[in-house]
Chain A
């Protein structure tokens, strides 16, 4: 499995501001994903972070609100822009070793975001 470091682990932010979450993996991975887990809900995929190109967003999520970068195979960032209280969630980075795994996805420790 991969060791995934995600930070910050938690933050309390003012509405209207932006927060960037970082995800660092200890080995080169093929696929990186960003999920959101709203309070009491399950995980929803926000987007697939593509190395060197624009992320692939799921229905209901847009680049202006959730810009994503992936400059190399081990690092990605998710920004939550112009935050509102509805953005209060846990945000999770997930990785997949397409070559050496059979499809298991592993998760970072998560970022608990509270918007006030």
Chain B
């Protein structure tokens, strides 16, 4: 069974701190690793990673994938109170034929709280 595990499950920091969120996965026919931010109900897309070692960056957020170690991290530098949210990691498989997109398996999420 496909599995995604995130750590830590919760994190409390102060504004200006840097945080690193971890995601490990075991997925058959792995295709890509996605990160989402969930503030209320709807997860909003942050990054999709398909290749090892290539960092994706958006402002203060960055992420990288290690396909050998089956691991990804999400870094947030100079955190702000607006970064408080649940961060979800999800692994996508290809379908059995490898020609189409399979299901997303989500981790439990990391609850990030940033205090002023």
Q: Measuring CB to CB, which residues of chain A are less than 8 angstroms from any residue of chain B?
A: 1, 9, 31, 33, 41-45, 48, 58, 90, 92, 94, 96, 98, 102-112
B41 touches A102 (CB 8 A): no
The smallest beta-carbon distance between A34 and chain B, in angstroms, is 12
Kindly count the residue-residue contacts between A and B in the assembled complex, taking CB atoms under 8 Å apart.
61
B48 and A96 within 8 A (CB) = no
The range of chain B's interface size is 20 to 34
Q: Are A45 and B104 in contact (CB under 8 A)?
A: yes
Cβ–Cβ contact A103 & B108, under 8 A: no
Would you give the shortest CB distance from A116 to chain B, in whole angstroms? 20
Contact A110 B42 (CB under 8 A): yes
Cα–Cα distance between A73 and B44 once the two chains are bound (Å): 22
Contacting residue for A105 out of B34, B50, B100, CB 8 A = B34
Known: A98-B100, A107-B43, A112-B41. A42 touches B109 (CB 8 A): yes
CB–CB B42/A108 < 8 A: yes
Residues of A within 8 A of B50 (CB): 102-103
User: In the complex, A105→B109 CA distance in Å?
Assistant: 17
Are B48's CB and A102's CB within 8 A? yes
Task: List CB contacts (< 8 Å) of B14-71 with chain A.
Answer: 31-32, 34, 36, 40-45, 48, 50
The answer to whether A109 touches B41 (Cβ under 8 A) is yes
Evaluate whether A42 and B88 lie within 8 angstroms (CB atoms) in the complex, with A98-B100, A98-B101, A103-B101 already known.
yes
Chain B residue contacts of A105, Cβ below 8 A: 34, 45, 90, 92, 104
Instruction: Verify B108–A109 contact, CB threshold 8 A.
Output: no
A107: chain B residues within 8 A (beta carbon):
36, 42-44
A92 x B108 contact (CB < 8 A)? no
Which of B41, B50, B103, B106 has most chain A Cβ within 10 Å? Answer: B41
